[in-house]
Amino acid sequence: MVGGQIAVVQRRTLAVLSVAQITSGVGVAVGFAFSSLVVARLSGSVSISGLAGTASVLGAALLALPTARAAGRSGRRTGLALAYGCALLGCLITVVAITVRSWPLMLAGLVLFGGASAGSLASRYSATDLSPPGHSARHLSWVVWASTIGSVAGPNLAEPADHLGRRLGLAPDTGPFALSLLAFAIALAVIVIGLRPDPLLLARSIAPASAPATTAPAARARGTLRTAWQALRRAPAAVRALVAIAVSHTAMVSVMSMTPVHLDHGGSPNWVIGIVLSLHIAGMYVLSPLIGWLADRIGRVPVLRLGMGLLLAAAVLAGTAGSHGVTQVSAGLALLGAGWSCGLIAGSAMLSEAVPLEHRPAVQGLSDLLMNVCGATGAVAAGVIVGALSYGVLGTVVAVMVTITGAWLTLKRT
């Protein structure tokens, strides 16, 4: 296959991934943004409400390696279909759990709901399989940007979806998760039907013409954890990228998951909380093409350091705002999203380029596993910190964490 044909396939791949990201973004944003509030209402505990974010992030972590293993064995389409299929099942369980007023069952459903996040994260790597040299961050960022529409609109669709669900006879608070189920079903159909030819399988088929494989096909398809660790030991740049991604995601999840609870304590209505979260999600995605261009233009590490600076500013702004300081919290959450975007885009491009093609699914899956484990841990800690101390203390902890990471990246710059 000549270069022109590959470029055509890559454009089609980016379009298909982008459509799937738009629809799945609605489902993720609706469910994740309001799951903590629903769990708080079911359990009557602020500390337990933090487990909602933990459950979905943990689910994304648990499904990261199976998604990567499926991609390594049968291609990106199979891996993404597995992730979105799990998310569909999770939505069904969550609707049942809310109906019977069981917060433990809801947490179980949210674990599978995390499959949508696993699929969304894996999609960004799918965008780089056929990228020409020097364009992987830009191509990756376009798929990340595609989440903007669904993710920004999602939180604001929760209340209308709840009203519609009640009219249709559903229990209160189940409407948003029914909407998520529909969104994931559409994303699944788009991937299964549209992602042909498979970008990873095509990249492997043309790789021998320019870069000999270092591993037998059967071995490279396994996508095992051991393979990933072995590849990382030979790629210090990949290790730096992995750490930056994990820290960025931990900071974002911990602050975002507790912001609705913080504002709810100040008496903010759901529509105000929805706007704040929409601004945050806009910060995550709207500037991603610019961030991708910067990462390709000035390098991955400078953009990673910029991301840590933005996360520090976000922690200070949000952490020093009272529960009635909606404007200040909104500014902090927007910067939080932009800092996360820098870490994800520059880090993912750096990670992918630092390891050979045959090892990429395994290393990418390990990266998503670690970032989500760290995020889940951050969400648990955030719930405990806010419940026992305050939202301001949470901001201080996050500020210290990103400052240390930024200093480490500066000392280890490449």
Kindly list the averaged pLDDT for each block of 10 residues, start to end, along the chain of length 414: 81 95 88 82 81 82 90 92 96 93 93 92 91 89 84 75 83 88 95 94 76 43 67 88 93 86 73 78 86 92 95 90 79 93 94 85 89 83 85 90 92 64
> Could you give the CA distance from residue 369 to residue 186 in angstroms, rounded to a whole number?
25
How many of the other CB atoms lie within 10 Å of CB of 218? Answer: 8
Q: Give the torsion sign (CA, 66, 123, 144, 165).
A: negative
pLDDT of residue 2: 62
Q: Which residue intervals of 195-235 are DSSP H helices?
A: 199-206, 217-220, 225-233
> Could you give the CA distance from residue 399 to residue 404 in angstroms, rounded to a whole number?
9
pLDDT of residue 12: 95
pLDDT of residue 399: 94
> Could you give the CA distance from residue 57 to residue 170 in angstroms, rounded to a whole number?
26
pLDDT of residue 72: 86
> Could you give the CA distance from residue 96 to residue 115 in angstroms, rounded to a whole number?
18
pLDDT of residue 134: 83
Q: Which residues of 106-144 are buried (b: 16+ CB within 10 A; e: fewer)?
A: bbbbbbbbbbbbbbbbbbbbbbbbbbeeebbbbbbbbbb
Q: Give the torsion sign (CA, 60, 66, 71, 77).
A: negative
Q: Name the percent of the chain in helix, strand, coil, to the closest 5.
A: 85, 0, 15
Q: Which of 121, 129, 152, 119 is nearest to 345 (CA)?
A: 121
